[in-house]
Chains A and B, each alone.
Chain A
Amino acid sequence: MSSMSENPYVPVFAKVIDVRDENPITKTFRLRMVNGEALRFRPGQFDIISYFGVGESAFSICSSPEEKNVFENTVRKVGRVTTALFNVKPGETLGVRGPYGKPWPLEKIVGNDLILIGGGMGLAPLRPVIHYIAKHRDLYGSVDILYGARTPSDMIYTYEFESWRNIPNTRLYLTVDYVPPGVRWEHDVGVVTELLKYVKPRMRYTTIFVCGPEIMMKFTAQLLLRMGFYPSEIFLSLERRMKCGIGKCGHCQIGYKYVCKDGPVFNLEEIGLLPDVIE
């Protein structure tokens, strides 16, 4: 994204062109830059959205990287900024900075099989990967998508699940922790790692991308290591408090790594021994 200003803290305006309800506390905002430029991003990168008067928050960019003039952010109502965003309607204007951070290493793993493991909102940074694979299907081997949420109504992007299943050589497995009475659920019940029983990975030809709550990533990483995967084959997308996105405000540090510029996607090998992560 180029900007009139050299000042990296100055957002540009983006118009909300659509708002989709994902579930009662989650919405996806479709945005277009007012200056007509594209937010050229790669899957796994994030942006920082401004609701002027309330503040900024960092979000995974969750749309297809192939879409040039629009981009999407999925927002769960959990804090001050996200609560303000929740009332935003199509036609309103927000601020955006970015894209920031290191993406998933999609170029480096061409030819490999992929296992994508998402927990709750952690599906957001994996969605651009799925869209990218759908467009460039011959670049990768088999793809397994494992998605878990607390309850069926906590899931996001459910309206796309059928089209994901229709991507050649791609399977989608779903699980929830709990099915409320009266809710129809034809998939698994249990933690997301249990879905790994459906996958028969070709060892040394498989790469795993994981995003979800830190505790879920911890247990997933432990199980994957027990299954014989190398730390170098496991990639995690981490969440930390961020105030700048450019390695100045200090908040997102984990050991000597900055999540905003060295991540948010990390190889398990590079963060496995750092404190305050996956402990």
Chain B
Amino acid sequence: MLQVRTETPRTASLVLDLPQWPGHRPGQHVDVRLTADDGYQAQRSYSIASAPDEDQLVLTVERLDDGEVSPYLVDELHAGDQLELRGPVGGYFVWDEPLGGPLLWVAGGSGVVPFRAMWRYRRSVGSAVAVRLLCSARSLPLLIYADELRQLACDGVAVSVTLTREQPEGWQGHRGRIDRDLLAEISWRPDERALVYVCGPTAFVEAAANALVDLGHEASRIRTERFGGTGT
């Protein structure tokens, strides 16, 4: 590991040097395995945050308070530590240029991570596919990649942010949880046949995907990735 970069009070990006990396598609994940002194092992999956052509592989990990693995990755790792990785894994929640667009990306919390791989890939291949990105976070300090999101507009990505719990004074963005009205306002019309990706905690993905189907988007063009520790 080359570097641990703090993204928010709850998330960190692990920047990894992987000489043998076979390459990945934007949206794929890896399995990370930790081994304790006595040989006990635990593994979890994390989305890749970097584009395929970048020199280093980046994983952005959210610390789950009841997590077995994530607190170690976020709080205990340092440059020079070695990690055991397997991957890339998953081939459905991916976007690359031949899949076309237009694109709608809907991210809840750390569900934004695979989209970072996609937007960085899109920029590096010079893709003109139009993208709308909707990010939901509890508050501005908990919005992951805030600086990068601000710059995305220059790359032709229309970014909308909704803050669900706390908004700073003078906040110009959206407020509250993602619902049908907000999705209707920011998403493509159903007849524009966008390819839709929704990633976030289970309840978030259920709500967003159901609302998009209600609005008339084709279920077969909506790809979802649900996570959330142990779920409910």
Pair from one complex: no
